[in-house]
Amino acid sequence: MTPLHVQFSQPGSTNRQEEARVLSYWRDYLLYLEEKETGPSLEDVLMFGTGLKEVPPAAIQPQPQLVFQKTSQFPMANVCANTIKIPIVASYEEFQEAMDCGLQNSPGFGLP
pLDDT digits (tens, 9 = 90+) for 43-96: 999 999 998 888 888 888 899 999 999 999 999 999 999 999 999 999 999 999
Quick one: how far is CA 3 from the chain centroid?
13
Domain presence at residue 27: yes
Backbone dihedral angles phi then psi of residue 6, each to the nearest 5 degrees: -100, 125
pLDDT tens column, 24-58: 999 999 999 999 888 899 999 999 999 888 888 88
Domain presence at residue 70: yes
Domain presence at residue 100: yes
Of 8, 2, 13, nearest to 86 by C-alpha is 8
Domain presence at residue 112: no
pTM: 0.88
User: Looking at residue 46, which CATH number applies to its domain?
Assistant: 3.30.2410.10
Domain presence at residue 84: yes
Output the pLDDT for position 108: 62
The whole domain housing 96 covers 5-106
Residue 4's region, left for phi above 0, alpha for psi from -120 to 50, else beta, is beta
Count of domains forming the chain: 1
Domain presence at residue 11: yes
